[in-house]
Structure 1
Amino acid sequence: MTGEHSSKQYDQELEAIRSKVLLMGGMVETAFDEALECFRVGDAARADRVIAEDQAVNQLEVQLDDACSHLIVRRQPTANDLRTVMATIKVITDLERIGDEASKIARTAKNLHERGGMSFAHYDMVRTIAKGTSELLHDSLDAFARLDGKQALELIAADEVIDHEFRTILRNLITFMMEDPRTISSALDTLWVAKAIERIGDHAKNIAEYVIYVVEGRDIRHSKPVALDQPVA
């Protein structure tokens, strides 16, 4: 009975951590969407809120890291339980970094619109990559919430599309700057935003990889695409 009671306590503590991780996921997802809107319309006040609210994400990261550390010390999880805790810690780190990238987008958007004088449709340049990354982040968090390994595996390829889109944006912006040096300043700002979006896609892909690690017990980081569909030995 003592073992069963201890197991239930562990499950409750882990579930409480997972709930806060998903709360953190919702916070960074909102921050990303708000930052993109700042970039589209140039709302300086909204950009300031996104930047300020990143502190709440940082504080939650510290709290969750501490909770996970205490859980390991008290419960000494093994096998799948330990994989779950370790993967959760990594997800927390990726979510904090997504919050940082969203803050960068908001800061760049504020600076860009305060300077004015934009000579091309800067938001249209990143519209496609922003939509794809937003969907990847949402779906990765959904896969983590449901521990859906099949869905997570399907998301890995989506990051390749985002990377390809970023390279296209880079080529287009280089062309703008070569043809008209007056666009260099705003083109560079747009490039920093596109890069931040691409990095958010990388972090969202990482979350999907951690789901696969928990569910199947295999680490597919740095694996070639052809190897992802192979069953775990």
Structure 2
Amino acid sequence: MTGEHSSKQYDTDLESIRSKVLLMGGLVESQFRDAMVAFRTGNVEMAFAVVKGDDSVNKLEVQLDDTCSHLIVRRQPTANDLRTVMATVKVITDLERIGDEATKIARTTASMQERGAMIINHYETVRVIANSAADMLHDSLDAFARLDSKQALRLIAQDEVIDHEFRSIMRSLITFMMEDPRTISSALDTLWVAKAIERIGDHAKNIAEYVIYIVEGKDIRHSDYASTADLDE
């Protein structure tokens, strides 16, 4: 009975952690969304609110890391249970970094407004990649919540689409700068925003990879697993 009670308590503790991770995920989704609204509208107050909100995300990261460490010490999980905890810690790290990227976008927005750097249509340049990354982040959190490895696998393949969009943006902005040197400052700022969005896609892909690790026990980082796996299995 002691072992059964311990197992149930472990499951309860782990579910509590998962709920807080999803809360953190909701916060970084809001950060990213608000950062892009600020970038589109030039709303400096909203941009600064995104920057300030990063403190909450950072505090959650510290709290969750500490909770996971204590869970390992108290429950001494093995095999699948330990794998789940370790992967969850990595998800927490990626979520914190997504918050950092959203903060970069917000800071860039404030800087552009202060300098009046509005020569090119900066938001339209990144609109498609921003929508793609937002969808990918949302779906990766959904896959984590439901431990859906098939959905996670589909998301990994989507990251290449975001990478392709970023390369297209980079070529376009280089053309702007070559044709009109007055656009150099704002084009570089927009490229900085596009890179932050591309990195958010990378972190969302990482979360999807950790879902597969939890469910299937396969570490597919730095591999071509997504291109060779059969999604219809």
Q: Find the aligned partners of 2:122 and 2:99 in 1 and give their Cα distance.
A: 22
Change in Cα spacing, 1:18 to 1:228, as seen in structure 2 (3 Å) is farther
2 CA distance for matches of 1:133 and 1:215?
A: 24
Q: What is the percent sequence identity of the aligned residues?
A: 74
- Does the C-alpha gap of structure 1 residues 226 and 77 become closer, same or farther in structure 2, counting only changes over 3 Å? closer
Supply the AA of the counterpart residue of 2:82.
Answer: L
2:32 is paired with a residue whose SS is: helix
Q: Find runs of 4+ consecutive structure 1 residues off by over 6 angstroms.
A: none
Check the 8 A contact 2:48/2:106 in 1, yes or no.
Answer: yes
Residues 165 and 176 (structure 1), Cα distance of their counterparts in 2 relative to 1, 3 Å cut:
same
Residue 209 of structure 2 aligns with an amino acid whose one-letter code is E
What is the 5 A alignment of 1:35-50?
A: 35-50=35-50
- Return the alpha-carbon distance in structure 1 between the equivalents of residues 152 and 142 of structure 2: 9
AA in 1 matched with 2:107: R
Q: Is 1:178 aligned to 2:178, yes or no? A: yes
**Aligned pairs (5 A) from 1:59-70:** 59-70=59-70
> 1:113 Cα shift?
1.9
Question: Is 1:220–1:228's contact at 8 Å kept on the other side of the alignment?
Answer: no
Determine the structure 2 residue equivalent to 1:105. Answer: 105
Distance 2:172 2:13 in 1: 49
Deviations 1:197-221 (A, max 9, x none): 0000000000000000000000010
Match of 1:148 in 2: 148
- Residue deviations 1:23-62, cap 9 Å, x none? 0000000000000000000101111110001011001000
SS at match of 1:222: coil
Counterparts of 1:228 and 1:57, CA distance in 2: 36
**Does structure 1 retain, via aligned residues, the 8 Å contact 2:154–2:226?**
no
1:80 and 1:228, CA in 2 relative to 1: closer, same or farther beyond 3 A?
farther
The match for 2:17 is: 17
The CA deviation string for residues 103-134 of structure 1, in whole angstroms up to 9 with x for no partner, is 00001011112221422110000000000000
* CA distance 1:113–1:225, shift in 2 (3 Å): farther
Q: Tell me the residue number matched to 1:166.
A: 166
Q: Is the 8 A contact 1:153 1:228 kept in 2?
A: no
Unaligned runs of 5+ in 2: none
Aligned partner of 1:204 in structure 2 is 204
Count of residue correspondences:
231
For residues 6 and 49 of structure 1, the distance between their equivalents in structure 2, rounded to whole angstroms, comes to 43
User: Residues of 2 paired with 1:42 and 1:168: CA distance?
Assistant: 24
Partner of 2:217: 217
Q: Give the alignment's TM-score, normalised by structure 2.
A: 0.97
Q: Letter of the 1:24 partner, please give it.
A: M
TM-score (norm 1): 0.97
CA positional deviation for 1:140: 0.1
Q: Which runs of 5+ in 1 are unaligned?
A: none
The one-letter amino acid of 1:109's match is T
Partner of residue 72, structure 1: 72
